[in-house]
Amino acid sequence: MREKDFREKFDGLTERQQQTLCLFCQGKKYEEIASRTDTKVGTVRSNMSKIYKSFKRPGDHYTFRQDDMREFCRFMPEDLKELANRFFPNKALRTYRFDLFPALEEDIPEIHRLCEEYFGDDLLPAELRRDWLKRDRNSFRVMKNLNGRIVSFFTVLFVKDYYFSQFIRGNLIERDLLDHSIISQTTAQGPGEDSIYISVVVGKENSKLGLCTLLYLVKYIDLLRRFRRIDKIYALAATDAGRRNIELLNFELYSSASKRKDKEDLYIFDCEKISNLYQHLEDVYPLFKEGLHNIELKSEDRWKPVW
């Protein structure tokens, strides 16, 4: 569908149907739409049926709502703020929508392409990331937009003690962490602390996107801590955006780039005495909650770690 055709069809809807479509494109369920528009669920279904018919082209069949959402949202985002002010002046609608998913092997090429713009010659081999994923299915989580495109991801690796000690000293770099140095998903937890290394890549310089990724990551770490003992978190700052987030979250410099083989600063965060990392960051980082209306943390059953 061309943007011109979309706008013509959209302008042909009633105001209530436009409200309904606007909320639908933000991932709202019919019950939520009914609550926001002060109507019944049956009315929402009726409006959606009329919207489908309005946008339906000859030969088209009704599709699953996620496909519908992707089609509608191809043209909606730039109009959402205007619609929000028009329909719901006291409640801002979401202008972004991101969902978290476990990474699959078929996601590796897209993850690889996402990294290319940042790392150039330092780009990790796609095969290494594939090996990590095979070793531990909990190691990758990808964040997708409404169109189903991966816009960021994070890597969480549980590294065997010997290799981790060499890594934090700067004697090994990220690409040296081969699959045999990673603790398998099926390996039982040892009596001591687990060594965890985190890497985050955001697809473009976008503070909202980075913040939403961070929200998911912190919640994910809290879930991991139900199964593993994680007292310290180590992270490299490979980009300016990553460095800003690390500093805002009160990470401390552990080893400087000049002393490391990878020429990157390594930071540490001691969370041994913090029972709920998410709550802690909410308290010390005022901007932390600003991205909450763009994500759905209650969907954790889909992306939580599995042991």
Backbone angles phi, psi at 83, to 5 degrees: -65, -40
- Residue 254 DSSP symbol: E
pLDDT, tens digit, 9 for 90 and up, residues 222-233:
999 988 889 898
Is residue 265 within 8 Å of residue 237, measured between CB atoms?
Answer: yes
What is the per-residue pLDDT for 110?
92
Print the SS3 string covering 4-72: HHHHHHHHCCCHHHHHHHHHHCCCCCHHHHHHHHCCCHHHHHHHHHHHHHHHCCCCCCCCCHHHHHHHH
Q: Please return the burial class of 228, using the count of CB atoms within 10 Å of its CB with bins 0-12, 13-18 and 19+.
A: middle
- pLDDT, tens digit only, all 307 positions of the chain: 565 677 777 778 888 888 888 777 766 778 888 888 888 889 988 988 888 777 765 555 544 454 555 556 555 545 554 554 555 454 444 444 788 999 999 999 999 988 887 777 778 999 999 999 999 999 999 998 877 889 899 999 999 999 999 999 999 999 999 999 999 877 766 666 788 888 888 876 566 788 888 899 999 999 999 888 898 988 887 667 677 777 777 788 999 889 999 888 889 989 888 999 888 888 877 777 777 777 888 888 889 998 7
Is residue 106 within 8 Å of residue 123, measured between CB atoms?
Answer: no
Tell me the chain's radius of gyration from C-alpha atoms. 22
State the pTM of this model. 0.67
pLDDT, tens digit, 9 for 90 and up, residues 173-222:
999 999 999 998 777 666 667 888 888 888 765 667 888 888 999 999 99
Give residue 297's Cα distance to chain centre: 10
Print the SS3 string covering 182-241: ECCCCCCCCCCCCCEEEEEEECCCCHHHHHHHHHHHHHHHHHHCCCCCCCEEEEECCCHH
Is residue 198 within 8 Å of residue 246, measured between CB atoms?
Answer: no
- Residue 20: name the closest of 42, 36, 3 by CA: 36
